[in-house]
């Protein structure tokens, strides 16, 4: 339900054009009262009800009798309503109302189960400290990204980024400060990448970045932006490799890791492009 419309997640027996639209204005909604009051609403004849007698659903949708029960989420918020309607006056039987209340509870339980499953799936693939993807998500997505790049003939760049001398930073400032820095990097870097990119924390201070559709030079521009956006007192080095046949996911990461090692071995932070780069 929005500020001006009631939307139907599921419906049966509702006439046109409402069935195809799957929504009505609030001027045609009895359910709004169930949601607003977080309580059941049982009406035998809406034409005789002082509140509902002017509701347009009576004329336009032929709603005369109505029984609705709130669907309450795990936090106590009303998510919607489950309702039955009749085009004639109806004296609702207790067993009918009990059945509607039971189904509303079942729907709420199912929504809670799905929400829990979704949150568990997100947690299983997310790094709790930074909010980035975690190593599990990285290792699962990299082979898929390679297959898509090969099948579609698109560019793909893989990047490994490492914070320079992070251990020394932790020793100097303490682990809480180090954690705060990692959280800040998570916020900054997620704001600099596209929705289709994957940014993952794959080690203590090591990050992986998948850039679909980016050749090495485009990837370098993105990475330089990330490296320039780290908290004061830190620098970052990066190794970049573009998709090349016949590299496997493991070989791809190994190439990026070698490029990262070369970048760090210079003694200064930089981004290094793998010499074997060969984007399609």
Active-site amino acid positions: 205
Of 56, 64, 200, the closest CA to residue 137 belongs to 200
User: How many helices and strands, by DSSP H and E, does the chain display?
Assistant: 9, 10
Are 14 and 61 within 8 A, CB to CB? yes
Alpha-carbon gap, residue 188 to 127, rounded angstroms: 15
Residues 6+ apart with CB under 8 A from 267: none
Q: Where are the beta strands (DSSP E) in the chain?
A: 5-7, 23-25, 41-43, 65-72, 78-86, 156-163, 198-201, 206-212, 236-242, 271-273
Q: For the chain, how far is it from start to end, CA to CA, in angstroms?
A: 48
Alpha-carbon gap, residue 253 to 259, rounded angstroms: 10
DSSP assignment, residue 132?
S
């Amino acid at each position: 339900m929005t500020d001006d419309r009631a939307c139907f997640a599921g419906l049966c027996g509702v006439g046109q054009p409402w069935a195809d639209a799957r929504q009505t204005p609030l001027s045609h909604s009895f359910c709004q009262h169930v949601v607003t009051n977080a309580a059941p609403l049982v009406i035998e004849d809406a034409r005789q009800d002082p509140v509902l007698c002017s509701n347009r659903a009576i004329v336009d949708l032929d709603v005369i009798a109505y029984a609705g029960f709130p669907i309450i989420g795990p936090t106590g918020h009303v998510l919607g309503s489950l309702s039955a309607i009749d085009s004639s006056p109806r004296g609702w039987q207790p067993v009918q109302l009990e059945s509607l209340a039971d189904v509303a509870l079942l729907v709420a339980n199912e929504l809670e189960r799905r929400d829990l499953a979704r949150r568990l799936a997100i947690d299983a693939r997310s790094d709790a400290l930074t909010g980035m993807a975690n190593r599990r998500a990285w290792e699962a997505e990299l082979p898929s990204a390679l297959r898509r790049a090969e099948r579609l003939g698109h560019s793909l760049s893989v990047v490994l980024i490492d914070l320079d001398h992070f251990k020394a930073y932790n020793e100097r400032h303490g682990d809480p400060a180090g954690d705060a820095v990692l959280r800040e990097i998570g916020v900054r870097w997620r704001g600099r990448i596209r929705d289709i990119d994957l940014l993952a924390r794959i080690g203590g201070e090591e990050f992986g970045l998948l850039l679909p559709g980016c050749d090495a030079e485009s990837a370098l521009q993105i990475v330089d932006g990330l490296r320039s956006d780290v908290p004061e007192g830190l620098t970052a080095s990066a190794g970049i490799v573009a998709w090349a046949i016949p590299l496997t996911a493991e070989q791809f990461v190994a190439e990026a890791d070698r490029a990262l090692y070369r970048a760090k071995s210079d003694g200064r932070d930089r981004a290094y492009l793998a010499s074997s780069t060969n984007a399609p």
